[in-house]
Chain A
């Protein structure tokens, strides 16, 4: 894809050869560490810069590196809108992801509606089912002495918990898994086809619930009222599809990065085995050090950012993996300290769109690591294999093959 020309208002001194897709360590890399590969930006060059081809379709973006600066951008949705027409571009059908692509003030009403679905109490109620899924998967490969984390554990676990949340029967798990795989890891065509399939599936679920009401997620949305009117079908679809997009790949990738870290750092693994209470802070530290998401915003008016002109129409990227290694925010940011104190990471973003599913995500990671460590003896990366990490719009990891002695 041809990179777009650098816009005239961007001073040449602020243009940097940087891309989430092509910078060193961003293309699929055996034994890579894509988050660490980007932290050089804190030590050389300007804290805000322009990367000429930094999206999957070759568009330029501003990159905001400092945690504090990112907060300023994300706190200002009047200027930096999160509406991007993600699905319009991909599917030719305008299906705004709700509430992610809705700006304040309208955003608040949708959030208020959805919050209770992912409250700590709801997550408590999901815990037993989630734990049972984790245990079943782990017991399924334990005797083999080896597993591939993403396919054997992380994805089936995240998809299973998601189906539980939707109230969809487990019979459909493999089907779902296939879409998730295509959607998050396939070629562009496969991705588009999978997106369409997901939208069609959710539409089917919606029609079914209209005929046969049930007390589940879609049933709830059909009953729900917002500003004294029911949700439209489009809104319900936008919500359901967003949850699929936001809640699967992220959880699976986090499990993959965390287990890969523990396989490569036997001492950290040992510490968690000896002190289960450390799992919780360790999960937070892994969220910080192995963050995967960037917040992408579009300026809807001109904005003076400490003398830098960000023009209406410019894309502004706030990568969590870079803010989370900001030395101004985290002492010794490259060190992974399982017991890090006062860990104010931004893995779940900042501002009004701050992750809705963070309670569930955290619980899934804690359950996943707890059950894995409780059931699998000391594990390592299987000799002769290498986990494959990559950058991109959402960072990820594949081929995490572990082995252990039975």
Chain B
């Protein structure tokens, strides 16, 4: 279980407790969080689970695969710290993870 903080573009922060082994996307969707859609259920086919990883946390995550990197091109306004939250596997070490939400997912 880890607490993951999702920060909207206006600075509003919503914290979701996500079980270990879940993806951050699945946790956000189960919580009904506005701002993460996850239309493809984690198949890396939609990029509607796009997040900006807080710079302090970028190093804590395993680097993206080539498929994920390519898929980030399908997201709106990708940046260097962009990730697909369906590819972020939650584990205790990620307790306190801060993920920025993009202004829109499509």
Please list the residues of chain A having a beta carbon within 8 angstroms of any beta carbon in chain B: 71, 74-75, 104, 108, 111-112, 115-116, 118-121, 341-342, 344, 346, 348-354, 356, 358-359, 362
Could you say which of B34, B39, B74 contacts A115, with CB atoms under 8 Å apart? B74
User: When A344-B37, A358-B106, A359-B106 are in contact, do A115 and B73 touch as well, CB less than 8 Å?
Assistant: yes
**Residues of A close to B32: CB separation below 8 A:** 342
A348 to B48, CA, bound (A): 12
Q: How far is the CA of A75 from the CA of B46 in the complex (A)?
A: 14
- Cα–Cα, bound, A116→B41 (Å): 20
| Known interface pairs A112-B70, A112-B71, A115-B73; A350-B39 also in contact (CB < 8 Å) | yes
| In the complex, the 4 A-B pairs of residues with the closest C-beta atoms, listed nearest first | A352-B43, A354-B40, A75-B41, A354-B46
- Smallest beta-carbon distance A226→chain B, Å: 13
Interface residue tally for chain B (C-beta within 8 Å): 18
Given A352-B40, A354-B39, A358-B106: A116 touches B45 (CB 8 Å cut-off): no
Provide the bound-state CA to CA distance between A104 and B32, in Å: 27
- Closest chain A residue to B32, Cβ basis: A342
Q: Answer whether A354 and B73 are a contact pair too, CB < 8 Å, given A108-B67, A344-B37, A362-B106.
A: no
Residues of chain A with a CB closer than 8 A to B43's CB? 104, 108, 351-352, 354
Please state if B34 and A342 are interface contacts (CB–CB under 8 Å).
yes
Answer whether A121 and B73 are a contact pair too, CB < 8 Å, given A71-B41, A112-B67, A353-B45.
Answer: yes
- Alpha-carbon distance between A307 and B27 when the two chains are bound, in angstroms: 27
Decide: A119 and B73 in contact? CB cutoff 8 A.
Answer: yes
Q: Does B53 sit at the interface, judged by CB under 8 A? A: no
A residues less than 8 Å from B41 (CB atoms): 71, 74-75, 350-352
